Structure 1
Amino acid sequence: MDTAIDRLANEKNFPQLWCKTSTFGQDAWKKIRALTESDIQRMKALAHRQELMAQTCRDLLRFDGISIAPFTTGLGNEHPLENGFAFLNPYGLPYLPGSGIKGVLRQSARELASGHWGDTQGWSEEQVCFLDLGKERIGLSLIDVLFGLESKDGGTQHVRGALSFWDVIPQIPGNELLVEIMTPHQSHYYQQKRDGKAGDSMSPHDSGQPIPITFLTVPPESGFTFWISCDSPHLQRIAPELIQDDRWKHLMQAVLAHAFHWLGFGAKTAVGYGAMGRNIKVEESLEKKRIAQMEALLRSQMTPARRAIEDFVGYMQKRHADLRGKPTGIGAEYNRAKALAEAALNDSDWTSDEKGAAVQVIIEWLPKVVTIDMKDQRKKLKLSQIEHG
């Protein structure tokens, strides 16, 4: 190959096309690692598609992580530059295959179940259920139930696991990947080639010629959303106790936390690549969204009277915070209380309980926000008439 490249480099029809120079290599890496606007849009669109698909799944666990070290995968793939990278076909985006996630989490479950890492978090190596397969009776552990039973070479005992693991599409900050470098110092030893500088020896020594090897990585601070779906009917048949109180979710949350802390994902985890942490910002955002949805649902089920009372309380709470506990003069705040009192007094759809609740919140919040004499205001706002009306 080197001879052919040298010959092509000297051809007049191929100026500099086949020259081995670092400049062309650096330019190529710049192009390879760049993410176009189209790439970024596809990356976000695929993540959004997964969220929409998740809404159609009944039993699903979501776990959000953020990379605290470069992440790489697919280095063993064939590639002209010797080190490949896993791109999702046909989108051309980095991804973490669900099969790789399953392998890491299975190992994490094994470590917890062994008890060598302290608290087992509910995991155990003991058999929790039995299946009759023809004339054979197979005992299954928690790992077998959730991840599937791995049969030995030539074995016939196969049991499908209840869980499925989705591919992860990293949400990359910025607009490019990173290029990392590894420099093996004893390549002749790893490749079992005789080294002339050491008497044609293949043993490891320090006089070899280190050759820097570049490879792609996903940069730190990238978001990773892990989706795990459960085949509930299958799990109900073989281990119904794992369905109760979402026990399988609690077990998998412990497994994910252990994998984040000790194992990592992708390639080269032994030297720190693929380390993950929990994405607290995303978790807080999702929790706020969940609370907002619950509040919206509860609000939609309220009567108009209850909504008016809730709106008044929310407004007064905000004004009380803005005023830092110092009441203001009669103005918009007082008018809101007056409007609520008039609605409770004159609207025939209000129940007695709703009228009583309106009086209570006016008595509680109006003096906190407005400088008034509440005894005098009880008469002006006709609060006694509302209570007994």
Structure 2
Amino acid sequence: MPIAAVPQYLGNDFDQASPGMRFGMYLRIWGIHRRHHQHLWTTHDIDIEVRGQERKEREVKIENKRSAIDEACKLTSHDTLLIDAWHERQQAAAAPWEASGRLWTGYAQAVAPFATGLGNEHPTENGFAFLWPYGLPYLPGSGVKGVLRRAARELPHWDEACCEALFGNEPPLPGQAEDARRGALSFWDVLPRISHEALRVEVMTPHQSHYYQAKTKADAQAGDTDPHDSGSPNPIFFLTVPPGSEFVFRVACDLDRLPESLRDNGLWQQRLREAFEHAYQWLGFGAKTAVGYGAMRFDEEARRRVQDAWEKKQREQAEAEAQRQREQELNRLSPAMREVELFRENMQKRYDVLKGKKTKKGEEDFRAMRALADKAKASDWSAEERAAAADAIEHWGPKVVQIDVKDLRKDLDLKALRSGG
């Protein structure tokens, strides 16, 4: 069984670690000799198997790269909560920008695997980009900007002045006098909501390893180093974000840097959407876009779903804050006045539910009024507190119960309650 290159006190169980930690620091790829339990520090184990007609024991290499990458794929429930929390914080940060018309937001769904950071060094030959300290896949804002700049230059109605205003100009070459200037747009990092809560392993199988990886000078001179498709395939595994994952692109705009022609009627947002649409269909994001990786499409359903969830959360937070303030107000009252206030709240709710209808005298609403009146008479409430109870009963009684106010005063003896009797 392969091991991770970590101190022994950490053990070898990393199921609750983030995908980035399992793919990097805790990668269980380093081989052992399965009979002698010797650490080999290679990317394969060695096992002993009986093979051949003579049934002799032979050492067999067992590659660990695929199994190591597979272990990095699964997201834990904690990872999912981190993604949700990250999106909520970004949504909260985006709210004032959206309110002032300085933010463009695009919701997209991946229609092909998405790969990023494959050029990072890694024992499996292909790395991956994770956002730290979360250890989750992400697309940096700088990568989004690069794709959008190229998309804008490929669209026929984008002129160089428009591109320069939005994206800035490139650093000058040696000998050029013009200084580099930043554009009006700022691209935020993107953390995808991963479909089925797991990454996916893809494989590429180059057939020209004899050409690209000649081990010695003698191999290079042996004559079998020309590239051809009859070479032995060399499977190389790498991580991807699976199709169906959701991406939220946010682009902030410094309106003061825009020319008036782009600022009027939000034209910069229209141009930006056109560039994203071209990038989704023809360019792709991340790595291996030349073979179709990173393709996306606009996802308006995701926009509605996220917006509804955000509005619901805002309502819940407002209601919780109102409830907290209400509890603070009640705590400042005496126990008797707190009961009167709770009675008023309950009657208000009943009135809203009944919508103009009324309950009968012997039912629950009338019994609640009688209970408050009896308690006010029997306890050591002050005259002010008893009067408040009588006022509350007299106010809400005719609105909720089928009873005349005179009968209510008589049945519950509200006159005595007010006089302190």
Q: Work out which of the residue numbers 26, 38, 52 in structure 2 matches 1:14.
A: 38
Distance 1:227 1:167 in 2: 8
Instruction: State the Cα deviation string for residues 304-327 of structure 1 (Å, max 9, x = none).
Output: xxxxxxxxxxxxxxxxxxxxxxxx
TM-score, normalising length from structure 2?
A: 0.57
**Secondary structure at 1:208 match in 2:** coil
Pair 1:78–1:291, CA change in 2 (3 A): closer
Q: Counterpart in 1 of 2:89? A: 49
Once the two structures are overlaid, the 10-residue window that deviates more, 35-44 or 17-26, is 17-26
Alignment of 1:313-352 (within 5 A): none
Higher RCO structure, 1 or 2 (CA under 8 Å, sep 6+):
1
**Secondary structure at 1:169 match in 2:** coil
* 1:71 correspondence with 2:114: yes
Q: Counterpart in 2 of 1:190? A: 212
Identical-residue share of aligned pairs (%): 45
Q: Work out which of the residue numbers 227, 247, 253 in structure 1 matches 2:250.
A: 227
Distance 2:41 2:171 in 1: 52
Pair 1:270–1:162, CA change in 2 (3 A): same
Distance 1:184 1:28 in 2: 21
Rg bigger for which structure?
2
Q: CA contact under 8 A between 1:145 and 1:161: conserved in structure 2?
A: yes
Instruction: State the Cα deviation string for residues 45-83 of structure 1 (Å, max 9, x = none).
Output: 111111111013230000010000110010000111110
Alignment of 1:294-305 (within 5 A): none
Q: Work out which of the residue numbers 126, 134, 137 in structure 2 matches 1:91.
A: 134
Pair 1:10–1:53, CA change in 2 (3 A): closer
In the TM superposition, what is the alpha-carbon distance from 1:24 to its structure 2 partner? 4.3
Q: Which 5+ residue runs of structure 2 have no aligned equivalent?
A: 1-28, 47-60, 313-353, 359-421
Pair 1:39–1:232, CA change in 2 (3 A): same
Q: Counterpart in 1 of 2:24? A: none
* 1:275 correspondence with 2:295: yes
In the TM superposition, what is the alpha-carbon distance from 1:26 to its structure 2 partner? 4.1
Distance 2:218 2:231 in 1: 8
**Secondary structure at 1:174 match in 2:** helix
Q: CA contact under 8 A between 1:9 and 1:17: conserved in structure 2?
A: no
In angstroms, what is the RMSD of aligned CA positions? Answer: 3.3
Q: CA contact under 8 A between 1:69 and 1:219: conserved in structure 2?
A: yes
Q: Counterpart in 1 of 2:148? A: 105
Q: Counterpart in 1 of 2:392? A: none
* 1:34 correspondence with 2:74: yes
Alignment of 1:132-147 (within 5 A): 141-147=161-167
* 1:204 correspondence with 2:227: yes
Once the two structures are overlaid, the 10-residue window that deviates more, 12-21 or 149-158, is 12-21
Once the two structures are overlaid, the 10-residue window that deviates more, 12-21 or 267-276, is 12-21
Q: CA contact under 8 A between 1:195 and 1:202: conserved in structure 2?
A: no
Q: Which 5+ residue runs of structure 1 have no aligned equivalent?
A: 126-140, 293-334, 340-389
In the TM superposition, what is the alpha-carbon distance from 1:17 to its structure 2 partner? 7.4
Once the two structures are overlaid, the 10-residue window that deviates more, 15-24 or 94-103, is 15-24
In the TM superposition, what is the alpha-carbon distance from 1:336 to its structure 2 partner? 8.1
Distance 1:13 1:192 in 2: 32
**Secondary structure at 1:30 match in 2:** helix
In the TM superposition, what is the alpha-carbon distance from 1:38 to its structure 2 partner? 1.1
In the TM superposition, what is the alpha-carbon distance from 1:173 to its structure 2 partner? 2.1
Q: Counterpart in 2 of 1:363? A: none
Q: Counterpart in 2 of 1:260? A: 280
**Secondary structure at 2:207 match in 1:** coil
In the TM superposition, what is the alpha-carbon distance from 1:200 to its structure 2 partner? 3.3
In the TM superposition, what is the alpha-carbon distance from 1:190 to its structure 2 partner? 3.4
* 1:152 correspondence with 2:172: yes
Distance 1:201 1:89 in 2: 45
TM-score, normalising length from structure 1?
A: 0.62
Instruction: State the Cα deviation string for residues 161-190 of structure 1 (Å, max 9, x = none).
Output: 100000100001222100000000012333
Distance 1:50 1:7 in 2: 42
In the TM superposition, what is the alpha-carbon distance from 1:153 to its structure 2 partner? 2.3
**Secondary structure at 1:101 match in 2:** helix
**Secondary structure at 2:72 match in 1:** helix
* 1:178 correspondence with 2:221: no
